[in-house]
Structure 1
Amino acid sequence: MAVKRRYESSYRQEQARRTRRAILDAAAVLFVTPGYAATPLTAVAASAGVAIQTVYKTFGTKQALLSALVDVTVAGDDEPVALAGRQFVADIRALPDARSKLARYARHLAETHARLAQMMLALATAATADPDAAAIWQKNADERRAGMTMFAADLAATGELRPDRTRDAVVDVLWLAMDVRNYDWLVRQRGWPVERFEQWYVDTVAAAVLTPR
């Protein structure tokens, strides 16, 4: 009986994960077109093939669904692993010099933007008129700045930052350079190869915050 209960529990958990994923996938499409404000949760439920009550049970509110969607899209998965525990952060910290760290982050940034650019641009548009979307956009902006504050500290530990740049100034540059709108303009609209975008990121940030070679 114990084995059967474990099997049933495992099956229910897997079924819940699949349901959650289906709802997130549906929201990822509909929150871009026709857009967050124009998409009722009933439309998300219909697209995901679940009852509206299931959407409410899983996420509670439309804003919570949007927040979860942003978090999962940024992370690339729904594993409960904090930013500091992600592999790319460990990779960056293990590198010996600032330009190598910037190059590793540029690769992570390009991979992330390829996954989330369309949704984040739609969120930015929605945030101009919808308070829920504006709150999620601000939350993401705060998290990005916190991440860049951590990155700035790692770069500072190399001893390669320009002495005339304050820590806040370095964070500002990193925060600006990582903005998804840079990727959208250069890669998605201007057609830059991803490798050229990554090199642009490294060269731009290095010129602004690192001591000259």
Structure 2
Amino acid sequence: MAVKREGPTHRQRQAMATREQIASAARTLFAERGYAATTIAGISEAADIPVQTIYSALGSKAAILAEITRMWMAESQTPQLAADALSEPDPQERLRMTAHMQRRQYDVGNDVIAIYQDAARTDSQMAEVQRQVLASRDREVAKLIDSLVPHLAPGLTRDQAMDRFLTCTLVEIYRTLIHERGWTADDYEQWLTDLLISQLL
């Protein structure tokens, strides 16, 4: 009896490898040249993949950026870390785990966030994509805040807690502390943990 093969086929693995090769090359070019100045032809040259293959595999710069984002989320383990934090019963530990997740996100994808910000300034379609990405982020943050409502500091409303969290975790703060002030990622994570606990609980 034939045994059914599980997981992706060889062809599917090849297709995924091609997509990731395109995305990796594009990520470098987007960061170095800017989103608007980067062309599919330039990505083709950097990835050593024919232009037509890029169009067949992903289709557009916006789709390539979406693939970059998928790879970023997978590498930073954001979905799993967020789920682990939500399942933690102790609110202080939940925030510590969230601070670790946030640190991982920025360590791995600070450049991706900068690409989105650059793209949104020059491309109205990408500005809308960025709004959607931020809205999705806000929905995920709302799950955390809702889980903390019974533990919030006296007088602190859910909306105020949401505002404080979003402000404390701004990427600009991470960039200032890490890139300009010379903090280590561990320093940032510990500071963010202490800040979130003091501001929310």
1:138 counterpart (131, 134, 147): 131
Residue in structure 1 matched with residue 155 of structure 2 by the alignment: 164
Residue in structure 2 matched with residue 203 of structure 1 by the alignment: 194
Kindly state the Cα deviation for residue 75 of structure 1 after the two structures are TM-superposed.
3.5
In the alignment, the residues of structure 2 paired with residue 75 and residue 135 of structure 1 have an alpha-carbon distance, to the nearest angstrom, of 23
Q: CA RMSD in A?
A: 2.2
Kindly state the Cα deviation for residue 135 of structure 1 after the two structures are TM-superposed.
2.2
- Counterparts of residues 170-181 of structure 1 (less than 5 Å): 170-181=161-172
Q: State TM-score, norm by structure 1.
A: 0.83
- Counterparts of residues 30-109 of structure 1 (less than 5 Å): 30-76=29-75, 86-109=79-102
Deviations 1:89-132 (A, max 9, x none): 33213323221111111111111111111221232133222223
Q: 27-36 or 126-135: which moved more? A: 126-135
Query: Identity of counterpart residues, as a percentage?
Result: 29
The answer to whether the Cα contact below 8 Å between 2:19 and 2:67 also exists between their aligned partners in 1 is no
For structure 2, which runs of at least 5 residues remain unmatched after alignment?
Answer: none
Kindly state the Cα deviation for residue 144 of structure 1 after the two structures are TM-superposed.
1.2
The answer to whether the Cα contact below 8 Å between 1:66 and 1:136 also exists between their aligned partners in 2 is no
For structure 1, which runs of at least 5 residues remain unmatched after alignment?
Answer: none
The answer to whether the Cα contact below 8 Å between 2:82 and 2:101 also exists between their aligned partners in 1 is no
SS at match of 1:128: helix
Residue in structure 1 matched with residue 28 of structure 2 by the alignment: 29
Kindly state the Cα deviation for residue 39 of structure 1 after the two structures are TM-superposed.
0.4
Residue in structure 2 matched with residue 125 of structure 1 by the alignment: 118
The answer to whether the Cα contact below 8 Å between 1:144 and 1:175 also exists between their aligned partners in 2 is no
SS at match of 1:50: coil
Distance 1:90 1:20, change over 3 A: same
Q: 131-140 or 105-114: which moved more? A: 131-140
Distance 1:110 1:206, change over 3 A: same
Residue in structure 2 matched with residue 191 of structure 1 by the alignment: 182
Amino acid of the structure 2 residue aligned with 1:180? V
In the alignment, the residues of structure 1 paired with residue 183 and residue 137 of structure 2 have an alpha-carbon distance, to the nearest angstrom, of 24
Deviations 1:119-160 (A, max 9, x none): 21232133222223312321221111111001111222xx32
In the alignment, the residues of structure 2 paired with residue 202 and residue 33 of structure 1 have an alpha-carbon distance, to the nearest angstrom, of 32
The answer to whether the Cα contact below 8 Å between 1:98 and 1:155 also exists between their aligned partners in 2 is yes
Q: 43-52 or 117-126: which moved more? A: 117-126
Amino acid of the structure 2 residue aligned with 1:26? A
